[in-house]
Amino acid sequence: MTGIILKKELHMLFVSPLAWILLTIIQVILTWTFLGRLDVFLEIQPQLLQIANPPGFTEIVITPVFALAAIVLLMITPLLSMRLLAEERRNHTLTLLISAPLSLADIVLGKFFSVMVFFGMVIVLLSTLSATLALGGTLDWGVLFSNVLGLLFVAASFSALGLYLSSLTSQPVIAALGTMGILLALWVIDLAAGNTNAWLRDLSLLRHFERFNQGVIDTFSVVYFILFIATFLILTIRHLDAERLHG
């Protein structure tokens, strides 16, 4: 039954111009940066040859482009996630879904996966772009893979949080602002981490993404992302259920 909600959400997303505009903007920004980094690489290539064990274009092109992609996804998540539940509530259409023979988990997961399909498309486009580098040299496929995985994890974390905030209100704008604020705070929280409160660093989404970005798939980070996603999805289901209980 999750599939029905997923299909409906994708239909609603892609009949509106929003999804296409966002896809275009993201693709333009990322391709622009990609070409810029490629230029830099070609410029410094002669100097690189003189170093023993020089960094290849995976480090110089792919790593920074994926780091930027993570920020771009952070920025557009609120735009996609705000309407998921807040708009259904505002238009009174949530009743249709709740009166249907569906569980709340079906509704929440269907909506979550719809955003993930969108992000999946962004990531596929970006990976294809990166893979074209293999035409001109040797690409470190391992680093590319860990970047793709890392980007999927951060995108899923963003969406889960956005979905939860969208379930709290009937004002999409409030959901968007809340999501943006919390995501930015979680992104940069490691700046606040000193010697005494080093645990703050472990809360930072950026910190965990950086590991993947450098080509390290750390179990700790994987667990962090999975817990983060599961927590917010469960909170969303619990919140909708509580609403049903108390009216």
Partner 1 sequence: MTEEAVNLTLSVENLSHRYSAFTGVNSINFEMRRGEVLGLLGPNGAGKSTTMRMLTGNLAPSTGSVLICGVDLLKNPDTAKIHLGYLPEIPPLYQNMSVDEYLRLAATLHRVASHCLESAVIETRHHCGLDGRGRQIIGTLSKGFQQRVGIAQAIVHNPDVIILDEPTSGLDPNQIREVRHLIGALATHSSVIFSTHILSEVENVCDRVLIMHQGDIVFDRKMGDIHQQQIHLDAIFTDLTQKHENPEEQRQ
Residue span binding partner 1 (CB under 8 A) among the ranges 94-102, 149-157, 201-209, 232-240: 94-102
Least distance (Å) from partner 1 to the CB of residue 6?
Answer: 12
* DSSP classification of residue 215: T
Which range, of 33-41, 85-93, 126-134, 216-224, touches partner 1 by CB under 8 A?
85-93
Decide: 136 and 32 in contact? Cβ < 8 Å: no
Cβ closest to partner 1, residue 52 vs residue 245: 245
Q: Determine if 246 is a binding residue for partner 1 (CB under 8 A).
A: yes
Please name the residues in contact with 53: beta carbons below 8 A apart, sequence gap of 6 or more.
Answer: none
Q: CA–CA separation, 105 vs 95, rounded Å?
A: 15
86 is a contact residue toward partner 1 (CB under 8 A): no
Give me the least distance between CB of 168 and partner 1, in Å please. Answer: 18
Considering only residues 97, 133, 156, 233, which one is a binding residue for partner 1 as defined by CB under 8 A? 97
Which amino acid, 189? Answer: I
Nearer to partner 1, 97 or 205 (CB): 97
Which residue lies nearer to partner 1 by CB, 92 or 219? 92
CA distances from 61 to 8, 35, 72, 87 (A): 37, 9, 17, 39
Per CB under 8 A, 148 contacts partner 1:
no
The Cα-based distances of 134 to 38, 120, 176 in angstroms read 13, 21, 39
Cβ count within 10 A of residue 88: 20
Kindly tell me which of 45 and 103 has the beta carbon lying closer to partner 1: 103
Burial of 53 (0-12, 13-18, 19+ CB in 10 A): exposed
92 binds partner 1 (CB under 8 A): yes
Residue 240 binds partner 1 (CB under 8 A) = no
User: In the set 13, 94, 163, 235, which binds partner 1 (CB under 8 A)?
Assistant: 94
- Only one of the segments 32-40, 78-86, 100-108, 144-152 lies at the binding site for partner 1 (rule: CB under 8 A); that segment is 100-108
* By CB under 8 A, residue 101 contacts partner 1: yes
The torsion defined by the Cα of 136, 73, 7 and 92, in degrees rounded to 10, comes to: -170
Identify residues 2-41 at the interface with partner 1 (CB under 8 A). Answer: 4, 8, 11-12, 15-16
Backbone φ and ψ of 103, nearest 5°: -90, 160
Q: From 26-34, 50-58, 92-100, 179-187, give the range in contact with partner 1 by CB under 8 A.
A: 92-100
Identify the residue whose tokens are 């889960």: 160
Chain mean position to CA 34? 19
Determine if 99 is a binding residue for partner 1 (CB under 8 A). Answer: yes
CA atoms of 21 and 90, how far apart (whole Å): 24
What are the residues binding partner 1 (CB under 8 A)? 4, 8, 11-12, 15-16, 91-103, 244-247
